[in-house]
Amino acid sequence: MKILEVENLSKNFDGFKAVKEASFSLEKGEIFGFLGPNGAGKTTTINMLTGLARPTSGFIEIAGEDGIKDIKKVQQIIGIVPDESNLYDEMNGLDNLVFCASLYGMDKTKRETRAKNLLEQFGLADTGKKLFKAYSKGMKRKLVIAAGIIHEPPILFLDEPTTGIDVETARQIRRLIQTLNAGGTTIFLTTHYIEEAERLCHRIGFIVEGKIIKIGKTVDLMQETQQVNIIEFTLENDVEPLKELIRKVFTNVNINMIDHFRIRISSPEKIDLMPFMKFFDEKDQLVREAKIIRSSLEEVFVKVTGIEINRMKKEKEKGGGKK
């Protein structure tokens, strides 16, 4: 059963097309991942779905309501967790949650009980009376998520929920997302962490330069690359200067730079290691490791978008391109 449906959704900014005729839907109870590089249109799409941006054209239906005309009705049943904190620094954790609950019209007893329960659930019970500005980055992120689900919405929009936080907190947040989903919450998740999308999402949509270029079940997308052979070389020295030359020499394979010292070769045909070993040897590049890589969503992403993961991560670290 569809809980969200989007048809030909577009957003233009002074002639620049940020989102181009996006069409997709969400099934009730699924986690849908929206993957794309910086500036691809992920946040603009979320903003249009949640009422922070007005679509230039297109149609949105959420839980049977018109997501453009009746956005205030829709906002009652959706939860939103933005990519950056939007809580109040001068209020403590508990007061922030109680205040957010009041925006949905929850009565005093209910909102206080719910806020305390969420603090408990998110491991923040001991810091409920601490000012939000004194929270660590990970704690802030958890509280922002708690604020997003304070009114128990059936649909939750999560914009880059684990970006910029430590590994352990990110793991806890992923677990929370899975718990929420197991409780019946439909989740729309944007992320640039491919492995996160692979681990959490039932279905995935790839968006590049405002256009959705592929949507499918995670398992189906993975199957598409099962036939692809991938070998990863780890080299002693920086391989970046040789990148173009490798591409010129080995035209029958795909080359993907992981970082300055790691390079991935993929091909539907069996890959012969020897020519590569010889090439690196001629270029005085010591091969420290050569390993076969299991096909992952990363390969699907690279194949579908033509974007190197390394570039996407770098762009994200720079933090530009958000609307």
The least CB distance from residue 159 to another protein, in Å, is 12
The least CB distance from residue 156 to another protein, in Å, is 13
**Which range in 50-58, 240-248, 292-300, 305-313 contacts another protein by CB under 8 A?**
50-58
**Which range in 59-67, 94-102, 117-125, 176-184 contacts another protein by CB under 8 A?**
94-102
Decide: is 59 part of the binding site for another protein (CB under 8 A).
no
**Pair type for strands 287-292 and 229-235:** antiparallel
Decide: is 168 part of the binding site for another protein (CB under 8 A).
no
Decide: is 106 part of the binding site for another protein (CB under 8 A).
yes
**Which range in 47-55, 112-120, 218-226, 249-257 contacts another protein by CB under 8 A?**
47-55
The least CB distance from residue 256 to another protein, in Å, is 36
Contact indicator for 181, 187 with CB cutoff of 8 Å: yes
**Given candidates 84, 238, 244, 272, which one binds another protein under the rule CB under 8 A?**
84
- CB of 107 or CB of 168, closer to another protein: 107
- Count residues binding another protein (CB under 8 A): 30
Decide: is 87 part of the binding site for another protein (CB under 8 A).
yes
The least CB distance from residue 79 to another protein, in Å, is 9
> Cα separation of 231 and 272, whole Å?
10
**Given candidates 2, 27, 64, 103, which one binds another protein under the rule CB under 8 A?**
103
Decide: is 13 part of the binding site for another protein (CB under 8 A).
yes
Q: 77 is written with which tokens?
A: 């049943």
> Cα separation of 126 and 110, whole Å?
20
CA nearest 190: which of 200, 180, 182?
A: 200
Decide: is 244 part of the binding site for another protein (CB under 8 A).
no
**Which range in 34-42, 104-112, 158-166, 188-196 contacts another protein by CB under 8 A?**
104-112
> Cα separation of 86 and 105, whole Å?
19
**Given candidates 1, 107, 252, 274, which one binds another protein under the rule CB under 8 A?**
107
Measured N-to-C along each axis, helices 93-102 and 137-148 cross at an angle, to the nearest 10 degrees, of 20
CB under 8 Å to 231, separation ≥6 — which residues? 264, 265, 266, 271, 273, 276, 290, 291, 292, 293
The least CB distance from residue 46 to another protein, in Å, is 11
CA nearest 194: which of 293, 313, 75, 287?
A: 313
> Cα separation of 222 and 301, whole Å?
10
**Given candidates 2, 8, 27, 54, which one binds another protein under the rule CB under 8 A?**
54
* Helix intervals (H) in 51-202: 71-77, 93-102, 108-121, 137-148, 167-182, 194-200
- Exposed, middle or buried by CB within 10 Å (0-12, 13-18, 19+), for 227? exposed
The least CB distance from residue 53 to another protein, in Å, is 5
- CB of 40 or CB of 49, closer to another protein: 49
Q: 176 is written with which tokens?
A: 């929370």
Enumerate binding residues for another protein (CB under 8 A).
13, 50-54, 72-73, 75-76, 80, 82, 84-91, 99-100, 102-107, 147, 323
